[in-house]
Amino acid sequence: MVAAHASTTRGQVSPPVWRILLHSSVFGLALSVADLLFSFYLVSLGYTSATVGLFSTLSRAAGMLLGIPLGMMIDRIGPQKSILIGLAVYGVGWTIILQFTSLWVMIPLQFLIGGAYILTSTAVTPLLAGVTRDDQRATIFGWNASATLVVGLAGSALGGILPSLAAGAINVGPQDTAAYRLALTVVIVLSVIAMLPVIRRMPMLSGDRHIDASPVPTALLPMRTLARLGFAGLLLGLGGGAFLPFQNLYFRSVFGMSDAAVGVVLAWASLSMGVGGLLGAPVARRLGLRRAGALLRLGVAPAMLLMLVPSLITASIGFFLRGLFVAASFPLNDALVMRATPLRQRGISVSMTSVLWAGGWAGAAWASGLIQEHWGFTPVIIFTTGAYLLSAVAIFTLPIPDQD
C-alpha cells in the first residue's frame, strides 16, 4: 500500500473519495436495473418464482463459496485492481447470459456474475477505508451507501420503462422476452462506465495514530473473530434474501401492479435507502456507532410487519421504512468492523461478512421461492422480521469498544 501525506483534515474529503462515490453510483444504477428486470426476464422465459429464487441463490452462493479466496485476492493485489477485475467479469457475464435460455448454461453464468458482484462490492469497503480516517468513516461509508442506493430511484424508474421502450424499438410486446433482453443490455453498458472513475491510481493514507482518530489494530485476528464480526451480515442476508429477490413479484402479484408501477414503488424505496445512508452518521454522533447501528437495524422489524397489511399505501410505507433503516444501519456496522480490523486483513474481513451475508441470502432466497408457491408472502415477511430483529442484537453485542 502506498503511503501518502494526509492532506485531508476533519470534515474534508479527498478526490479519491469522490471518485469512489461516482463509481458506486454508476454500479448501483446497473444493479438496480438488473434487480428489477432479471426476474421479469426469467418469468418471460416461462420460469416460476422457484427459479427466480434459485438464480438469486446462485449469485449469493458464489459469494459464499468464493468470498474468502476473493478477500485474500483483495489483500494481495489491492482493492482498486480487484474492483476493475470484478466489473470486467460482471459485464462479460451479463453479455453472455443474455444469449442463452437454457438453465444448464445460465446457471454457471449466474454463478460467475455473482462472484464478480461480490468481488466488486467487497473491495469498495477496504478501498474507502484506505483513503479515509476512522473519524470520517461513519459519514463516508454512509455517503457511499447513499450513492449506491439512491440511484436506485433512477434505476428502478428507468428499469420500469426500459421494456416498453425496447418493445417499441423492435415491435414486440412490453413483456416479451426480446424486450427484456434488450433492456438488460443497459446493465452491461453501465458496468463499463463504472470502471472509469477507479482506473487512475489512488494513494492510500497510512494508519498512524496522528492520522486516524484511533490507532489501527496490528495483531492479526483469528478466523473465528472475523466470523463473529460478520455475524450481523449473515442475519441481514437471511432477511434480505427471503424477500428482496421477490419484491417486484410481491407488488405485482399481491396488488396487481404493472411493471412500470412496480418500478415507481422500487424507485421510491431506493430514495428511502439513499436518505437512510445519510441518516446513520448523525445518529452515530449522538449515540455512538454500536448503539446507533443496533437501534436503526431494530427499526426494520416493524417496517416489515406493515407489509402484512393488505393495503398498497400501508405496504409501500413499510417498504419505504425498511429501506431507510437498513441503509442507515449497515454503513455503521461496516465502520465498526473496519475499526477492529488490521490493515492487512481488511479485504478478508469484509469478504467474511460477504460470505456470511451471501450464505444467508442464498439459503433464504431458495427456501422463500418454494414457500411462496404454497403459502404466499405472509410467512416470508414474518421470517424476515425475525432475522432483522436478531441482526440488531448481533450489532449491539459486537466485541468492539465504542470509542465515540
pLDDT digits (tens, 9 = 90+) for 99-145: 998 888 999 999 999 899 989 988 998 898 888 877 777 788 888 87
Look at residue 5 and give its three-state secondary structure: coil
Q: What are phi and psi for residue 100, nearest 5 degrees? A: -130, 155
Is 70 exceeded by the pLDDT of residue 216? no
Between 234 and 220, name the one with better pLDDT: 234
CA distance 79 to 71: 9
Instruction: Count CB atoms within 10 A of the CB of residue 309.
Output: 12
Q: Which residues contact 52 (CB under 8 A, 6 or more apart)?
A: 39, 42, 43, 245, 246, 249, 369
Render pLDDT for 51-76 as a digit per residue (tens, 0 to 9).
877 887 777 678 778 888 888 899 88
Q: Quick check: 152 pLDDT over 80?
A: no
Which of 296, 306, 351 shows the shortest CA–CA distance to 119?
Answer: 351
Q: Which of 23-37, 207-221, 345-359 has the highest mean pLDDT?
A: 23-37
Q: What is the pLDDT of residue 7?
A: 39
pLDDT given for residue 401 in this prediction: 60
Domain count across the chain? 1
CA–CA separation, 19 and 17 (whole Å): 5
Is residue 108 assigned to a domain? yes
More confident residue, 188 or 16: 188
What whole-number distance in Å separates Cα of residue 70 and Cα of residue 79? 10
Q: How far apart, in whole angstroms, are the C-alpha atoms of residue 351 and residue 127?
A: 13
Residue 206 is assigned to a structural domain of this protein: no
Query: By percentage, how much of the chain surpasses pLDDT 90?
Result: 27
What pLDDT is attached to residue 386? 95
Residue 201 lies in a domain: no
pLDDT tens profile 235-282:
998 998 899 888 888 888 888 888 778 878 877 777 788 788 888 888
List CB contacts of 367: < 8 A, sequence separation 6 or more.
53, 242
Q: Tens digit of pLDDT for each residue in 298-315? A: 999 999 999 999 899 999
In a domain, 157, yes or no: yes
The pLDDT assigned to 93 comes to 95
Query: Are the CB atoms for 191 and 90 separated by under 8 Å?
Result: yes
User: Is the residue at 363 inside a domain?
Assistant: yes
189 located within any domain: yes
* Mean pLDDT for the stretch of residues 358-378: 84
Angle among Cα 159, 161, 162 to the nearest 5 degrees reads 65
pLDDT at 3: 37
Q: Is residue 404 part of a domain?
A: no
**Closest by alpha carbon to 404, among 216, 213, 228, 229?**
213
| pLDDT value, residue 391 | 94
Judge whether 203 lies within some domain. Answer: no
- DSSP string of 154-190, one letter each residue: HHHHHHHHHHHHHHHHHTS-TTSHHHHHHHHHHHHHH
Higher pLDDT pick, 354 / 303: 303
pLDDT at residue 186, as a whole number: 92
> What pLDDT was estimated at residue 402?
54
Rg of the chain's alpha carbons, rounded to an integer?
A: 20
CATH of the domain at 103: 1.20.1250.20
Return the half-sphere exposure (C-beta side, CA atoms, 13 A cut-off) of residue 178.
7
> Please, are residues 207 and 92 in contact by the beta-carbon 8 Å criterion?
no
pLDDT given at position 65: 82
Pick the residue with more confidence: 186 or 363?
Answer: 186
For residue 34, is pLDDT > 50? Answer: yes
Q: Which of 94, 63, 5 is nearest to 356 (CA)?
A: 63
Reply yes or no on whether the pLDDT at 24 is more than 80. Answer: yes
* Total residue count of the chain as it appears in this document: 404
Backbone angles phi, psi at 205, to 5 degrees: -75, 150
Range of the domain at 83: 14-194+221-396
pTM score:
0.70
Q: Give the Cα separation of 81 and 73 in Å (integer).
A: 10
Average pLDDT of the residues of the chain: 83
C-alpha cell at 273: 435507502
Rounded Cα distance between 398 and 308, Å, is 31
